[in-house]
Amino acid sequence: MYVIPAIDLRDGRCVRLFQGRFALETVYANNPVEVARRWEQAGARRLHVVDLDGAREGRPCHLEAVQAICAAVSCPVQVGGGMRTPQAVQQVLDAGADRAIIGTALTVDDDAAREFFCRFGEAAAAAVDARDGVVAIRGWEQMTEIKAVDFARRLETLGARRIVYTDIAHDGTLEGHNVAALAQLVQAVGIPVIAAGGIATREHLAAVAQAGAEAAVVGRAIYTGDLPPALAAEDF
């Protein structure tokens, strides 16, 4: 397992939210490109970019920033937030990302989900964002009645090649990931799972690795210094 540093974009700046709440925002940097270069220089093998404005608006809002980040680094970049249509996915791929993370659009119907996976293959990752085991959509501001594990299983049958699982209640808390829920989801599917939310110590990383995650997205902890960026060069 390896670490993927996160860059969350809102109003052109690098921010972190607490439990996905837009009202609880901390700004960490004004220049996302500089941050991307810093994480790559520290050893990052991949970057995780989230267009928070896009997640709310339902369309990519930071394509120029994504393009600038991708042009500034040599490591692959995955992008989520506002990926509601195949056209939106194509836009971020054309901007230089190697992977788009799709969430809300996959809950519409099975045919729509299948189209994403058929058209984009490995370049399309499925977001499973959950609070108390239930899937949240539209920038985490709307709850569904879909169980996260059931959703993950369904996405795999529809052609998903990879899942990015975020436990919303832990996201931004620095209190550790919901490892039990992660392990359950990993065991339910046969495709790689990337874990995000609350990871702030080596012990947290070890627990996520033990649960079977392919990688761990780390955000707030590397901005605050709880985890050194150089951890992105290590394996767990």
**21 vs 75: CA distance, rounded Å:** 29
**227 vs 198: CA distance, rounded Å:** 12
**56 vs 59: CA distance, rounded Å:** 8
* DSSP character at residue 235: B
Candidate list 51, 53, 129, 171, residue with the active-site label: 129
Cβ contact 127:103 at 8 Å? yes
- HEC string of 2-27? EEEEEEEEECCEEEEEECCEEEEEEE
CB atoms within 10 A of CB 153: 16
- Specify the pairing of strand 99-102 against strand 124-131: parallel
Candidate list 8, 53, 167, 171, residue with the active-site label: 8
**16 vs 198: CA distance, rounded Å:** 12
Three-state secondary structure call for residue 34: helix
Structure tokens at 98: 């190697």
- Specify whether 129 is catalytic: yes
Q: Which residues contact 111 (CB under 8 A, 6 or more apart)?
A: none
- Specify whether 8 is catalytic: yes
Enumerate the active-site residues.
Answer: 8, 129
